[in-house]
Structure formats: structure tokens, C-alpha cells
Amino acid sequence: MLSSETEQKSTLKWWYAIANKKRSLKHGKIELSILVPCYNEADNIEKCLRRIPSMPWRTEIIVIDDGSYDDTAKAALKTKVKNLRVIGYKPNRGKGYAVRVGINAARGKFAIILDADMATQPEEIPMVVKPLFDGTADFVNGTRFVYPMEKGSMKALHKPGNRAFALLVSLIIKQYLTDSLCGFKAFKVRQFRGKLKENGWPDFELLIKAKRMNMRILEVPIHYRWRVAGVSKMRTFRHGYSMLKMLAKSLRRDSR
């Protein structure tokens, strides 16, 4: 009998593309994988990819088109940035599913999740992943609550909600966090390959599993701004309730 994951994969229409084969690095030589899960980000993805700075590490970029019905994939491929792969499927499955696809495809020792809306800044990737390469952390969690936020970047009700979730996760993992839902998360790839289940927001599952695996979690302050273009997928009450259920589900999975 097929597993639920295999059943899901069998019902999806998949495709895969390399932006520029001549500029791709050889297999096995990647140190960092930048995972960019996308859903209808055609107005953002090109600028997002072009804003990713040069790295001191051998780096690949993996765009995961999570069932978009706009031209997200075409816009990504148009950039022809170095060592870019685009993986897509239909229908939409959720950010957590897209992150799993990215982790399974990643060739780097480390990976970082980058949101295509550029609310988190691509230029800050080197700062976020540096503790991994320095050996001072196994998991880096970005926090939006240290530096002043751009006006309007986070809705008024979202701020106490985010702080409440951070407190709940802190109690669960027994480590104080100021932010649990920041899009910037960086980690050792092999630790999470084949171990994630959540299709929705993957943040809680990543943090709880990291702690259960005795990974050293470090928070790094980042700058948070309003998305450059497009519409936010976040709906205050509906997604707040969904996140509570996701948190409970992640906790149940890891208590088995």
C-alpha cells in the first residue's frame, strides 16, 4: 500500500528545469542550498533572485513553484542566475510541502529558506548562515523582533500573535525564542531529510524537531519589511487558528 506521501506525489503533475546549464556547478560540490518556496510570486521572484548576493561558499538556488497559476516559474528562469534550479508541480500543496521538496533536492550541506516576497532580505543570507559554517550553531532562526520593522510590514494583530506563538514554542523546546514564524531558517540538510510531515507552515515542526535532535538553535536578528509586490497569503484569524492546530500536531508527532 502506498504511503500518504507517495500517494500525494502520484497525484501531482511535476516538472523540473535548470536555468543555465553552462553556469551550473558539478554535483557534490555545493556547500549551501538556498530554498525559495513560491506560490504566485511572478511579480517578486525575479527581483528576489537578483538580490541574492555573491557567497563565499559554493551555492545553489532552488525555486520550488508550489502550484502557482501565474508565471512564477517563467520569471525565475528568465533571470538565468548562476546554479539555479526550478522545481514545480500542481496543484498547490502548501509551504511545508514545498520546503520538503527543496530539502530532498538540496545538494548542499546547509540550507536556508528564503521567502520570495522579500519581507526578509536576500542580502542578509550570509549573516544568517554564517554560524552554521563557523560551527557555532546547527540551526539558525531569524528573529524580526530586535530591529525596528518597516512601518506596515506586520499587521497590528500579528505582532502579539507572533509573540504568543514564540512563547509557546519556547516552553515546548525549553529554549527562549523571540520569534518562531520568521521565514529565515537555516540548518543542516541531512538532519531534516525525510523527517518532516507538515504541508502548511513548516516553522513549528522545524524548530521542535531541531530541539528533539539536540541541534544547537541560535537566533539571529534580521530586518523585516513589507512585501515588495503581490498579496500576502496570511489571514489573521483563519491562519492563526490553523497555526495552533499545526503546533499541536507537530508536538504530537514528536512525542511518539
Rounded to two decimals, the pTM is: 0.85
How confident is the model over 207-223, as pLDDT tens digits?
999 999 999 999 999 99
Domain annotation covers residue 107: yes
Residues 236 and 154: their CA atoms lie apart, in Å, by 11
Domain annotation covers residue 209: yes
Q: Name the 3-class secondary structure at 15.
A: strand
Domain annotation covers residue 4: no
Contact between 166 and 178 under an 8 Å Cβ cutoff? The reply is yes
Residue 234 confidence (pLDDT) above 60:
no
The more confident residue out of 55 and 240 is 55
Contact between 179 and 254 under an 8 Å Cβ cutoff? The reply is no
Residues 233 and 251: their CA atoms lie apart, in Å, by 25
- Grid-cell match 521567502, residue found: 115
- Could you write out the DSSP letters of every residue in 165-220? HHHHHHHHHTS--S-S--S-EEEEHHHHTTT---SS--HHHHHHHHHHTT--EEEE
Query: For residue 228, what pLDDT is reported?
Result: 64
Domain count, the chain: 1
Of 16-25, 120-129, 210-219, the one with minimum mean pLDDT is 16-25
Domain annotation covers residue 1: no
Residues 223 and 119: their CA atoms lie apart, in Å, by 8
State which of 13-27, 151-165, 170-184 shows the largest mean pLDDT. Answer: 170-184
- CATH (domain of 243): 3.90.550.10
Domain annotation covers residue 6: no
Helix (H) or strand (E) holding 97: helix 95-105
Domain annotation covers residue 5: no
Query: For residue 1, what pLDDT is reported?
Result: 33
φ/ψ of 172, rounded to 5, equals -70, -45
Query: For residue 226, what pLDDT is reported?
Result: 78
How confident is the model over 86-99, as pLDDT tens digits?
999 999 999 999 99
Whole-number average pLDDT of the chain: 86
For residue 19, the enclosing domain spans 11-255
Domain annotation covers residue 230: yes
How confident is the model over 135-144, as pLDDT tens digits?
999 999 999 9
Domain annotation covers residue 3: no
Query: For residue 182, what pLDDT is reported?
Result: 95
Give the mean model confidence (pLDDT) for residues 171-189.
Answer: 96
Query: For residue 14, what pLDDT is reported?
Result: 85
> Could you tell me the pLDDT band of residue 153, with boundaries at 50, 70 and 90?
low
Give the mean model confidence (pLDDT) for residues 194-200.
Answer: 92
Q: What counts of helices (H) and strands (E) characterise the chain?
A: 9, 8
